[in-house]
């Protein structure tokens, strides 16, 4: 897991034609951990005992997973490692215990902050006039897989360049579920927003995928779908609370199932077939 030191940044952008859905506003996020790759099929298999993916490959991201599937994985991994599960799941109702130390999905605000490089790239004096990709200001090609370079499928994780935090595939490969219900951004400043006030019935997805046009890999682009939705271009990565909010734990190494060390020293919905 990569430690992401919290901060205040301009979330969203003023880039046309996306500005209405990406309303630029000041957002503060606390420090947190996030995995430096999307959850792989081998990691999923070790925890859940199955593999729902349509593009088999142990180092490829797990896909064809719903939002509910993703939160169940987070809880199962937490139990496996002796952590307090972040979620209480009762039928289709999921409650988040924000004091829990277990694995969880990143919030939309955390996801964008991390994708843009945290304190190394997300913090700017003014709102973005043109949103970057995760690790590239000009083109997604060096950092992500999308419709023109993916050969119509997912790729093993960590094959492209990292962003400033050492995160792979924040642009492209598979869409990534976030915790939040989708809704219009607030007009005022926000602190650790989680989308709980939005009652749209849609969950946020971020990052674009192997199937989408390059522009949808922008770090501010917002996609959404119902939490039961699953397709071969949707996966996720995981996050955890940072118990100590100040200072970076450079020596801590956290290894997820599948043998992949996830620590790095560097500190209108798309149509699918």
- Give the number of other CB atoms < 10 A from CB of residue 19: 16
Q: pLDDT at position 258, please? A: 43
Residue 262 has pLDDT above 90, yes or no: no
Q: Could you tell me which of 93, 83, 77, 7 has the C-alpha nearest to residue 43?
A: 77
Task: Please give the backbone phi and psi of residue 249, each rounded to the nearest 5 degrees, phi first.
Answer: -90, 85
Which residues touch 156 (CB under 8 Å, ≥6 apart)? 57, 59, 60
Q: What Rg, from alpha-carbon coordinates, does the chain have?
A: 17
Per domain, the residue ranges of the chain are 1-273
Q: Which CATH class is domain 1-273?
A: alpha beta
For 27-55, what is the mean pLDDT?
98
Q: Which run of H or of E encompasses 235?
A: strand 234-235
Q: Within 10 Å of residue 79's Cβ, how many Cβ atoms?
A: 14
**Quick one: average pLDDT of 15-31?**
95
* pLDDT of 254 higher than 80: no
Do residues 206 and 175 lie in contact, with contact meaning Cβ atoms separated by under 8 Å? yes
Residues 6+ apart with CB under 8 A from 270: 209, 211, 212, 216, 223
Calculate the average pLDDT of the chain: 90
Would you state the pLDDT for residue 106? 99
pLDDT band at 73 (very low <50, low <70, confident <90, very high): very high
DSSP state of 40: B
Confidence at residue 197, expressed as pLDDT on a 0 to 100 scale = 86
Number of H helices, E strands in the chain: 3, 12
pLDDT of residue 69: 99
Q: pLDDT value at position 267?
A: 27
Is residue 131 scored above 80 in pLDDT?
yes
Q: What phi and psi values does residue 223 have, to the nearest 5 degrees?
A: -125, 160
In this prediction the pTM is: 0.89
Neighbours of 125 (CB within 10 A): 5
Are 155 and 145 in contact by the 8 Å Cβ rule? The answer is yes
Asked whether 8 and 27 are in contact (CB, 8 A), the reply is yes
pLDDT value at 257 more than 90 = no
Task: Inform me whether the pLDDT recorded for 17 exceeds 70.
Answer: yes
Max distance between CA atoms of the chain, in angstroms, equals 47
Both tokens of 253, joined, read 């190494």
In this predicted model, what pLDDT tens digit does every residue of 107-120 receive, in sequence order? Answer: 999 999 999 999 99
What are residue 32's DSSP bridge partners?
4, 241
Distance separating alpha carbons of residues 215 and 13, to the nearest angstrom: 13
Q: Flag the least confident range among 58-62, 89-93, 172-176.
A: 89-93
């Amino acid at each position: 897991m990569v430690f992401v030191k919290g901060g205040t940044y301009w979330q969203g952008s003023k880039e046309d034609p996306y500005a209405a859905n990406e309303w630029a506003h000041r957002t503060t996020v606390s420090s947190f951990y996030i995995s430096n790759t999307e959850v792989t099929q081998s990691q999923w298999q070790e925890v859940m005992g199955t593999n729902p993916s349509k593009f088999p490959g142990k180092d490829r991201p797990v896909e064809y997973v719903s939002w509910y599937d993703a939160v169940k994985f987070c809880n199962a991994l937490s139990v496996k490692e002796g952590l307090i599960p972040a979620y209480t799941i009762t039928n289709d109702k999921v409650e988040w215990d924000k004091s829990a130390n277990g694995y969880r999905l990143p919030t939309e605000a955390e996801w964008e902050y991390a994708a843009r490089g945290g304190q190394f790239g997300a913090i700017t004096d003014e709102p973005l006039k043109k949103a970057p990709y995760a690790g590239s200001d000009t083109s997604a090609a060096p950092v992500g897989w999308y419709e023109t370079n993916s050969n119509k499928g997912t790729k093993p994780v960590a094959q492209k360049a990292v962003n400033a935090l050492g995160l792979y595939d924040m642009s492209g490969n598979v869409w990534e579920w976030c915790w939040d219900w989708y809704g219009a951004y607030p007009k005022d400043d926000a602190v650790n927003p989680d989308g709980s006030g939005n009652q749209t019935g849609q969950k946020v997805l971020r990052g674009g995928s192997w199937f989408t046009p390059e522009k949808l890999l922008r770090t501010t682009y917002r996609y959404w779908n119902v939490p039961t939705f699953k397709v071969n271009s949707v996966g996720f990565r995981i996050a955890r609370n940072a118990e100590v909010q100040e200072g970076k734990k450079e020596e801590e190494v956290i290894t997820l199932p599948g043998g992949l060390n996830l620590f790095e020293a560097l500190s209108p919905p798309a149509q699918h077939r």
